[in-house]
Amino acid sequence: MFILKVMVSKGINSVNKMEYIVASCLLSTLFSVTAMADTFLGRGRVVMEGSIIETACAIEMSSREQVIEMITVPASQIAHDGQGIAKPFVIRLINCTLPRFDPTMPDWQAFRVTFDGLKDGALLGIEGEAQGVGLQIKDQSGNIALPGVAMPLAELSSGDKLLQYTVNLLPNHQILRAGEYRSTVRFKMDYY
């Protein structure tokens, strides 16, 4: 808020001068505030990123970033059964095409998926209060994903493809402690 205090004298000339000064100050203040509003409030910025790559398939948007809510499991069950309860998840490949952009190159025939994250031996590590467990990912054929190691080659076909996996809690041979946990797992696709 801007407050302007003006003292007016009793003479006619000085009143007219003061009114002129007050009017000038008020108008210049209004114009500068309006100009600042246009300058600072009417702008925005959108940053866009992307890449153009030669790939056999696109990954459906809902498959790119997923949040998987694991089932709450008693520590005694993990100790007794040697695992938690498996939770399924999928990666959906869409618009797969076998011919390459460069016609001199052979068609796409296969792909591999690699899962990576915090490593805990052969398991994907967790963070949080819980201890003594890690995550294990398996594909629909029972192949186990080792952190940072590509899974076996799988055949590629045209169209859409649904890759089915399960994630499960397994003991990591440390002392088991109950509590909340979280983990971030990245995956990448390689085409051949």
Please give the full DSSP string across 55-119, using - where no structure is assigned.
-S-EEPHHHHS----PPP--HHHHHHHSS---EEEEEEEEEE--S-SSTTSPPP-EEEEEEEESE
The model's pLDDT over 112-164, given as tens digits with 9 standing for 90+, comes to 999 999 999 999 999 999 999 999 999 999 999 999 999 999 999 999 999 99
pLDDT at 38 over 70: no
Whether residue 44 is contained in a domain is answered as no
Provide the pLDDT for residue 51.
72
Provide the whole-model pTM: 0.71
Domain ranges, residue 67: 58-191
Whether 25 is in a domain gets the answer: no
User: Using one digit for the tens of pLDDT, what is the confidence trace for 47-69?
Assistant: 888 777 778 999 999 999 999 99
Task: Read off the CATH number of the domain in which 143 is found.
Answer: 2.60.40.1090
State both tokens at 146.
């080792």
* Tens of pLDDT, residues 165-189: 999 999 999 999 999 999 999 999 9
Query: pLDDT at position 92, please?
Result: 98
